[in-house]
Amino acid sequence: MIRALAMILLVAVVALGVQSWRLSSAHTKIDAQQSAIEAQGKKLTQKNSQLIALNILTQTSSRAQTQLYAAAEQNTRLLRGRQRTIEELKRENEEFRRWADASLPDAVIRLRQRPALTGGESYREWLSQNHPVPPGTGRPAQ
């Protein structure tokens, strides 16, 4: 009987040890999972903040684009009105017609000629090659 009681006690202690080990293992897994959940929550918060910022940027860009389209339409209307006014003046006034039909002086034509530039560097290069600054007289302008 004592031997059976000792065996039962031994089995109970072993079972208690196994349960204790399983409980400790479960707590370790739970702690690791909670840490992973917190890390994922932080990442999610960061991504959410980025999405909010992108949404604000998109809305701002859309408003600016709408304003630019409206300004372009207004400029087109103004240009058509001015062209119509010029045509009316040409029909009404002979002197104005001759002036408008006359060709521009060569100096003015050269001012209006522009090369196909693709950025600031090509513009600086065009300025330095084609239009060097004339040397000064050595005296300051008065």
pLDDT in tens, the chain (142 residues): 889 989 999 999 999 999 999 999 999 999 999 999 999 999 999 999 999 999 999 999 999 999 999 999 999 999 999 999 989 988 888 888 888 888 888 888 877 776 677 888 887 887 777 655 555 555 554 4
Report how far residue 80's alpha carbon sits from residue 62's, in angstroms, rounded to the nearest whole number: 27
Domains of the chain: total: 1
68 in a domain, yes or no?
yes
Report how far residue 14's alpha carbon sits from residue 121's, in angstroms, rounded to the nearest whole number: 82
**Residue 90's Cα: distance from chain center in Å?**
47
- Domain housing 59: 52-96
CA distances from 44 to 7, 32, 88 (A): 54, 18, 65
Is the pTM higher than 0.75? no
Reduced to 3 states (helix: H, G, I; strand: E, B; else coil), residue 70 is helix
> What DSSP state is assigned to residue 133?
P
CA distances from 36 to 30, 49, 137, 139 (A): 10, 20, 76, 76
Q: At what angle do helices 2-92 and 94-101 cross, to 10 degrees?
A: 130
Helix or strand holding residue 92 (H, E): helix 2-92
6 in a domain, yes or no?
no
69 in a domain, yes or no?
yes
70 in a domain, yes or no?
yes
